[in-house]
Structure 1
Amino acid sequence: MIIEGYLEIFDLLMLISFLSYSNKSGILMLGVNHNEGVIFFNNGNIVDAFIDGKQGEEALMHLVLNYPVLSFSFYQGEILRENKINKSSEKLILELLKVFDEKNNKDILLVGG
């Protein structure tokens, strides 16, 4: 199965949540401004991520916080990959939502003055 489209940042969190809670295995390819990020899922668990020379949780946070509009393609299939991320996907998603919310509130305060 291949799913493709375009996302805004909050939609990326929703897509990550959907793939995780649906117990999907595969590769989520994300593209923006000539950069390409990758998130690996194994039975719904986020096991690794890459972008801009970053890997693991650092790359996942970087993707969520720094790329507001993304094209994506999800390729479903078995992933044979060493886990670089060892937290539960639920915990990761909650952390991503918290950091995303804190960043947006900080930006609103800076703009509002």
Structure 2
Amino acid sequence: MSKTNKINPKKKRQLSPLYILGGGILKEDFIVRHTKLIVLIVGLMFVFISNRYTCLLKLREIDKLQQELKDVKYESLAISGQLIGNNRLSQIESLVKERRLDLESPQTPPYIIQK
């Protein structure tokens, strides 16, 4: 027997698409020895991807709530401005006249009572 007829057990195979898709790569010595590490890395990748997705959802919700807060603040300012405008003496007198109430503004100033 010659040395060329013997099959070398550590013969390297070429990584062809058919070899990879056929599952032959899973029989490689490196893959078999490090299966636990590969599974751990894939599991951690899923955890990190899930964590990032959750963070992005929370950031979107925070942005939405901040925009809603701005809208509510502007609405509050508008209502406050209307209320201040309605509290003026001239505005109150015109409302009393419109509703035909029997009220008049006092002609004498109020008295200040001191203790």
TM-score (norm 1): 0.26
Higher relative contact order (CA 8 A, sep 6+): 1
TM-score by length of 2: 0.25
Q: Which has the higher strand share?
A: 1
More helix by share: 2
Larger radius of gyration: 2
